[in-house]
Amino acid sequence: MSFSGFFKQKRSETGDNQNIDRGILVFENTSEVIRAESVLKSEGWKIKVVGPPPEIRTGCDLVIEIPLIEELNILRTLEKAGVSPLETVPVSSPLLQPVDLFQNKDFGKYLMIRAANMKLTIDKETLNIVNVSGGGCPDVPYLAQEMVGKTMAEAPAPREIGHTLCGYALQLAYEEILRRCSL
Amino acid sequence: MFAVAGTVPIQNFPLVAGEVFLEDDNIRIREMRVPVNRGTPALLAAAVKACEALDQGAPFGYLVGDIGLGDGSRKLYEYMTGHLDKFDFQSKHGTGLKAITFHYLQPDVDWHNRVLFTVKEMKKAPILIADAGFMYAAKMSGKAAEYDFFTPDVGELAFLADEEAPHPFYTRGFVLHEENRIPELIARTYKYKNGARCLLVKGKQDYVADRHGIQATIDSPMEEAMEAMGGTGDTLTGIATALIGTGMEVMKAAIIAARINRLAGYYAKPTPATRVMEIIKHIPTACNRLPV
C-alpha cells in the first residue's frame, strides 16, 4: 500500500475528527527518525514511526507520529538528545501551519505581544512581565505563576517549563519581545 | 447547584471535590487553599462572588493539580466518569446538578468522550458548559453540538471555525482574526457543527450567538486593559455559570454575565498590570447594579 493509501484508509476508518490531535515530526533523514524514535521510546512516549503524506515529503520516508498536545515536551526531549526534527505537522492536514505572525498592542507604559492564542505583556521601562493571558491548556496558569512579576531576564523561558502548544505559543511571544528588546 | 471541573497550577495538589469558598484572595475547597491568579481558581472565585450577590449556595468544585503534563487532568477525567452520576448524593441541598462547567483540563479526546458519555447517562443531564482546554477537546471530538454553552475568545472562535484545526495554535489563515470577521467565523463554526447551542465570544466587544447568528453585542463599559489581563475571560465564564446555575436561560445569562464582568472591570480601573482579583472583588457591586 502506498503512503497516501495508508493515510486515506486510516482517515476513513476513524472519521475526520478522530486523529486531529495527532501530529508528525519530520526529520532530515531516516537515521535521525530512528534515533529520535529510540530516544522517545526510552523516555516512555507513546509514538509511532509512520509514512509521511506525499505533501510533506522532504526526501525522508519516515516521520514520527506524536500526540500534538505533548509536542513541547517531546521537542525538549529530542533537543536534549541532539536530534531535533525539521518541523511538526498535524496529521489531519499537512497544510496547517503554526502561527508565524505577531500582533502587538501598545498601552503606553506597557506592551502586549500576541502569538496565536497567547498574550504576554511587559512594562516597557523595567521589562517586568506584568501579565500572561489567553490559552486553555493547564500549563498556562503555571507559566503565568512562574513568569509574572519577574523581568524578562529573570523569568524562565516558556519552553523550559511549558508542556503544551499554548506553552509553545507563549514561547513565540516571549521570543518576539526579546527580539524587539534587542533592536 | 452547579459544578466546575478544572485544574490548579500546583503539581502535587491532590484531587479534591467539594464546595468552594473564597477567603483572603484564596479559594478554599475542603481544607485546601489556592491563590486566585487566573484559570479555574479565577473562574471559581468569580462564581463564588456572583453566588453571594444572587443569594445562592456555594459552587461545587472538582479540582486537581496539573502544570501541563496532563497527569492531573487524566486523574480528574477518570474520577468524573465514576462520580458525576452520583452528584445528588454529594449535594448538600439535594437539588441535583443544574449546570457543569469544564475548564482548564488537558485536551484529551478519548477522556472527553468518556466524561461526556457519563454526563449524558445522568438521570437529569445538567446544562453543559465548556471553556479553555476542555472546549478544545469538545471541538476535537466532533461533539461540540452536544454542549449548551461555549465561551471562546476571538482566537478560540477562529479555532472553532476552522474545521481542520486541532488546536488554536494551528488555526489556518484566520489566526490574526479581525473583529469584523466574527459573524463569518460564527457562521462557519455552526456550518461545521463545531459550536455549542450558545456562544459567548469574549473580546473588545462581547458577542452572544447561536446557530442563527449574533443575537446580542455587549460593548460597554470598555476597559482596554482587560485584554492584557490574565483571567478576565475566566471571570466571565464563572459569572455566566453562576447565573445559569440559578436556572436562568443560557443566552440571557450570557448577556447579563458580559455586562457584569465589564462593569466589575470598570470599577477596578485596571491597567495591563492589574491582577484579576481586583476585578473579582467588584462583582457583587456590579451584580447589584444590574437587574438579574
Identity at B177, one-letter amino acid code: H
The residues near A129 (Cβ < 8 Å, ≥ 6 apart) are A120, A121, A122, A147, A148, A149, A150, A151, A152, A155
For position A95, what pLDDT does the model report?
Answer: 41
Contacts B68 to A, Cβ<8 Å: 137-140, 142-143, 162-164, 167
Side by side, the strands of the sheet bearing A87-90 are A48-50, A63-67, A22-26, A87-90
For position A13, what pLDDT does the model report?
Answer: 35
* CA-wise closest residue to B10 among A151, A26, A108, A139: A139
For position A31, what pLDDT does the model report?
Answer: 64
For position B134, what pLDDT does the model report?
Answer: 96
Suggest the residue from B27, B143, B167, B176 to mutate for an interface test with chain A (most A CBs closer than 10 A): B167
ipTM: 0.92
How many CB atoms neighbour CB B183 within 10 A? 12
Say yes or no for a CB contact (<8 Å) between B132 and A18: no
Say yes or no for a CB contact (<8 Å) between A136 and B273: no
Chain A nearest C-alpha distance from B94 (Å): 31
Say yes or no for a CB contact (<8 Å) between A107 and B228: yes
For position A100, what pLDDT does the model report?
Answer: 59
Contacts A15 to B, Cβ<8 Å: 142
For chains A and B, CB pairs below 8 A equal 183
Contacts A92 to B, Cβ<8 Å: 164, 166
Ranges of residues in chain A whose predicted pLDDT is under 70: 1-20, 29-31, 51-62, 92-100, 183
Q: B62 near B82, Cβ under 8 Å?
A: no
Which of B9, B73, B273 has its CB closest to that of A131? B273
pLDDT digits (tens, 9 = 90+) for A66-108: 988 888 999 999 999 999 998 888 876 554 445 557 889 999 9
For position B117, what pLDDT does the model report?
Answer: 95
pLDDT in tens, chain B (292 residues): 899 999 999 999 999 999 999 999 999 999 999 999 899 999 999 999 999 999 999 999 999 999 988 899 999 999 999 998 876 545 555 557 899 999 999 988 899 999 999 999 888 889 999 999 999 999 989 999 999 999 999 889 988 998 877 677 766 655 455 667 899 999 999 999 999 999 999 999 999 999 999 999 999 999 999 999 999 999 999 999 999 999 999 999 999 999 999 999 999 999 999 999 999 999 999 999 987 6
